[in-house]
Amino acid sequence: MKVIVFGATGSTGRLVVESALSAGHLVTAFVREPNRMSLTHPHLRIVKGDAMDFGTVAPAIPGADAIICTLGPIPQAKEDLGRRQLGVPVSSVGTKNILAAMPHGRGRLVVLSSVSVGESYATGSFGAGFLVKLALKKVMADKEEQEAAVRQSDCDWTIIRPATLTFKPRRGNLRAGTDLSWHITSTATRADVADYMVKILDDPTAFKKAITLRN
């Protein structure tokens, strides 16, 4: 499968690229700064562009069998602290550009969102959804708009809502569900989430669903 990853140099995006390559896919990494993609592989192609610029997004998508979007305004890795864009709607604007570039009514899209967004607000225990939105008001508003755009599209989408992402090694015990409960201390390793996003690429039972993940 030909897969294009947006946000490929981000903390989760890098792992998605690695997981997709390990699964035998042909991967295109869409990045603003190609020099930040240190991974090399015969099945990896790097395309320079900015997800906030439709003019660079549109030419990158034709020919892709599936798209994975891991865009976000708050990079977590220490080396990425200077790239944080709080208040900038990276997730929603970038995803809208991706959707606009996809053939109408066709295509596979997996989008990384967060717990507390959409229905997962209510599945958070002891007011966890409220606390997350209180702490990350602008980020969560961006994610809400992102999810709304995805739901309105005609493509075969899946929204992924992980609990707090960690840099711990993959544990292999990821729990997933459309109504999965979570609490403020719930976590999900980035490696496990990346593997899950790749695993469901060709799984029709995941189409048109928003899935919560936690270890």
Distance in angstroms (rounded) separating the CA atoms of residues 86 and 92: 13
What Å distances lie between residue 107 and 3, 4, 12, CA to CA? 11, 12, 22
pTM equals 0.92
Residue 74 confidence (pLDDT): 55
What are the sequence ranges of the domains in the chain? Answer: 2-214
CB 187 within 8 A of CB 139: no
Superfamily holding 2-214: NAD(P)-binding Rossmann-like Domain (3.40.50.720)
**Mean pLDDT, contiguous 10-residue spans, the chain (215 residues):** 96 96 98 91 96 95 96 58 60 95 89 97 96 90 96 96 95 96 97 98 97 98
